[in-house]
Structure 1
Amino acid sequence: MERFPGAEVTIIEADPEECFDLLISDHADVAVVVATDPLPPRSDPRFEQSALFSDRLDLLVPVGHRLAEKSAVALSEAAEESWILDRAGSPYHRLVRTACAAAGFQPGQAHQSREWETGASLVSAGLGVALIPRLARLPDGFDVVRVPLRGDPVPSRKILSGIRRGSGAQPIIASALEVLRESAETAAHQEA
């Protein structure tokens, strides 16, 4: 903010499709979203969208689970497990169902959780397994293990930036996009 005295930054947490509505209505200048359905196509003339990075998903299991000691697992190895998912229709729900479908199964939902911490608590209690992005940080105290997934491709969520077409020439938006690209590069190197 030193480069732009007097500028205010406001962060709005919203579902991906809502982020593009905020751009159109001029209530946001930059969106950072998980690429899930439904989003405007990358060819939509109203927006400029750019891939930032891929955030791999890990399988979250309770300590002592049969998969907890493995260095990596195929997602299909958890096909028979009880699953903890977000509510139907949410981006995370779609992401998990898509990853599981690509692995050849539909997850049997045992519980519903919207927050990572709640899901981790349910996993810790032995009530199911979940997928969790590498970037999702969990507080200490949960008896859970993150098991890396293997596969081709490894299940991941794709993170995009979006702006109104042509607004990238505005100095503050251009600066924000540059910071996002640098942060994405750092996150990608940490994951490698």
Structure 2
Amino acid sequence: MTPLPRTFYLPNAEVVARALLGATLTFEDKRVRIVETEAYVGPHDLASHASKGRTPRTEVMFGPPGRAYIYLIYGMYELLNVVTGPEGDAQAVLIRAAEPLSGALKGKTDGPGKLTRALGVTRAHNRHDLCAPPLTITAGTPPTRVVRAPRIGVDYAGTWRDAPLRFYDADSPFVSRR
């Protein structure tokens, strides 16, 4: 299957977060259907890593769209984000959960840390161009019912804590739980 074109990632994170629902994420021989995402809409978004400015860790967020931004959280989970928006704008979409489709997954996929662990995606794939193997996203079947809600785990972000920037497939049993 042909990876989504770079132009898919050019809109802002909010648009791409919703559009990614139903898309197929592939890593090597493992394939999953994306069922939950969160948008981080730029440096003004206090829940975004970009709110602290350009650092070695966040540099990839300021780069071209369609790259993987993978970071370690809580010293144990590597999370996969997709860089979106115009270059220099530092937006990203967190892939929170997915439904298994094929391949030998190493665990559950109903949370962002569980998902990367099950796929075998690590920080070694940070900055990877999602338009080329081994880590790609292809078109899929969008969900029939999408829920929009506040993001999870961003209580520190002031008024951004309640921003409805989480999107998920209302009919998927693989959506993460609070």
TM-score normalised by the chain length of structure 2 = 0.28
| Bigger relative contact order, structure 1 or 2 (CA pairs below 8 A, ≥6 apart) | 1
TM-score by length of 1: 0.26
Looking at CA atoms only, which structure, 1 or 2, has the larger radius of gyration? 1
